[in-house]
Amino acid sequence: MGPGDLSKALKGLPCMTNINLIRGLDCPDDAGVYKLTSKLAIIQTVDFFTPIVDDPYAFGLIAAANSMSDVYAMGGKPLTAMNIVCFPTGTLNISILNKILKGGAEKIMEAGALLVGGHTVDDKELKYGLSVTGIVHPDKMITNSGARPGDKLILTKPVGTGILGTAVKAGLVNKKTVKIMTESMATLNDKAAELMQEVGVNGCTDITGFGFIGHTAVMAKNSQAGITIFSDSIPLLPDAVDFAQKGVLPGGSHRNREFYSHLVTFANGIPQHMQDILFDAQTSGGLLISVAAGKAEKLLQKLHRAGVKDSTIIGEVTKEHKGRLVIV
Ligand code: CO
Ligand code: CO
Ligand code: CO
């Protein structure tokens, strides 16, 4: 389902507001946030999808890391998680599900969270993910509407998982690249979230299904600011350019282009394959962090020291072209 279908599906739903609901559907962010006390808010999010790599254990790791990412994007910590499973019991051996769930549990433990339950339905197509509850201090919640003109934008993981995932399904990707992309997708955004809180930042979102451009455009729109992206600075997964040049693109990327094109201006000379990469639907991508220019280098150094090695300054927030992206 693309972003256009999503807005149609939500059309006409009752708008539920409450003094304690500090992020809900009236102000969509990476996750819902509900204030319990003046010092504590819960963060709720859910995500599940079909396998993107062949190895079931690795798929479990990736799906769980992806599901917890929205908690980190809000500057929070995951506390508890529940498995969501669709499984074709008639055609697949249950040992496959066991491996997926082991991968998921491994990531939940790494995040310092607890698996507390789950639900499985029989379905023709395998799907797995988590429903996650996290916590954050309500005054320290980091939203996708806080980017301020003058901020620098830091991206913490390389882009290209949608294109590479499509190439993996066609059997075109070498083992080394599969390993690198799997590790990247299976990496938690926990360290980046912790360091954002330590340094103090203005805004954050994570890069997932709507692609780099989709999520960045939402940040620009919600922050009522412009964003300029330095396309040469975007960290990329190995071979992503190669497959993009060959036109290996997932369906979700076309839908992202249709929906978000009107919010983007590409400078002359940005090649077609780079545009495709920037629209590419991502799985378990990095955090996009908007931080005051004076703190950007410090945060970047801390990220690199903590092992979030692909972190790069990839753009800046502007007063000009409010609500739009300019890609140079
Ligand atoms: Co998100
Ligand atoms: Co999400
Ligand atoms: Co956020």
Q: How far away, in angstroms, is 37 Cα from ligand 2 center?
A: 25
Confidence of residue 209 (pLDDT cuts 50, 70, 90): very high
Q: What number is the average pLDDT over the span 54-75? A: 98
CA distances from 47 to 34, 84, 224, 320, 326 (A): 19, 9, 28, 35, 30
Q: Residue 213 in contact with residue 279, Cβ under 8 Å?
A: yes
Tell whether the model's pLDDT for residue 5 goes beyond 90. Answer: no
What whole-number distance in Å separates Cα of residue 76 and Cα of residue 69?
10
Tell whether the model's pLDDT for residue 234 goes beyond 80. Answer: yes
Q: Residue 144 in contact with residue 222, Cβ under 8 Å?
A: yes
SS3 249: coil
Q: Angle, to 10 degrees, between the axis of helix 251-260 and the axis of helix 272-279?
A: 100
Q: Which DSSP category does 177 fall into?
A: H
What whole-number distance in Å separates Cα of residue 44 and Cα of residue 73?
12
- For 153, the token pair is 């934008």
98-112, 187-201, 241-255, 273-287: which range is least confident on average? Answer: 241-255
Task: Please name which ligand lies nearest the alpha carbon of 63.
Answer: 2
Chain-wide mean pLDDT for the chain? 96
Q: How far away, in angstroms, is 121 Cα from ligand 2 center?
A: 21
What whole-number distance in Å separates Cα of residue 221 and Cα of residue 214?
11
Q: How far away, in angstroms, is 95 Cα from ligand 1 center?
A: 31
Tell whether the model's pLDDT for residue 26 goes beyond 90. Answer: no
N residues, the chain:
328
Tell whether the model's pLDDT for residue 6 goes beyond 90. Answer: no
- Nearest residue to 126 (alpha-carbon basis) of 109, 101, 102: 101
Residues 90-137 pLDDT 10s: 999 999 999 999 999 999 999 999 999 999 999 999 999 999 999 999
Task: Please name which ligand lies nearest the alpha carbon of 72.
Answer: 3
Q: How far away, in angstroms, is 31 Cα from ligand 1 center?
A: 7
- Predicted pLDDT at 4: 81
Q: How far away, in angstroms, is 42 Cα from ligand 1 center?
A: 16
| CB under 5 Å of ion ligand 2: residues | 47, 70
Q: How far away, in angstroms, is 94 Cα from ligand 1 center?
A: 31
Confidence of residue 81 (pLDDT cuts 50, 70, 90): very high
Q: How far away, in angstroms, is 286 Cα from ligand 2 center?
A: 12
- Predicted pLDDT at 121: 97
Which residues, including other chains, have CB under 8 Å from residue 309's CB and lie 6 or more apart?
none
Task: Please name which ligand lies nearest the alpha carbon of 75.
Answer: 3
Tell whether the model's pLDDT for residue 25 goes beyond 90. Answer: no
Percent of the chain at pLDDT > 90 equals 92
- Predicted pLDDT at 46: 97
| CB under 5 Å of ion ligand 3: residues | 30, 73-74, 142, 144, 204
Confidence of residue 10 (pLDDT cuts 50, 70, 90): confident
